[in-house]
Amino acid sequence: MTFAIRQNPKEYTIRSLDCKKTGNGEQQLNWKYNKASHFLVIATPAKAAWNPEENMISWLEENGNELLKNYSIMAGELLWYLIEERDFFAQKNKFIIPRGSLKIQVPYCIFIYPCQISQNVWEIYQVSNHENEATIPVHIPVKLKYKNINKYFIFPQQRLCMFRPIFDFTQDFNQLEGILCYKPSCSRCHFPVSAESMRNAKDGWLRVWIPSGEELNVYTTLEYKKYYYVRIEEQ
- pTM attached to this predicted model: 0.83
Sheet (strand 228-234) strand order: 206-211, 158-165, 138-149, 228-234
pLDDT 10s digits, 118-141: 888 999 999 888 899 999 998 888
DSSP label of 223: G
Region 194-217 average pLDDT: 86
Sheet (strand 14-21) strand order: 14-21, 27-33, 94-97
Q: Which one is predicted more confidently, 171 or 140?
A: 140
pLDDT higher than threshold 60 for residue 152: no
CATH number of 2-136: 2.60.40.10
First and final C-alpha spacing in the chain? 60
> How many angstroms separate the CA atoms of 230 and 219, rounded?
6
**What is the chain's mean pLDDT, rounded?**
87
> How many angstroms separate the CA atoms of 75 and 63, rounded?
10
pLDDT 10s digits, 55-100: 889 999 999 999 999 999 998 889 999 999 999 999 999 999 988 8
pLDDT higher than threshold 50 for residue 153: no
> How many angstroms separate the CA atoms of 99 and 92, rounded?
20
Domain range annotation of the chain:
2-136, 139-234
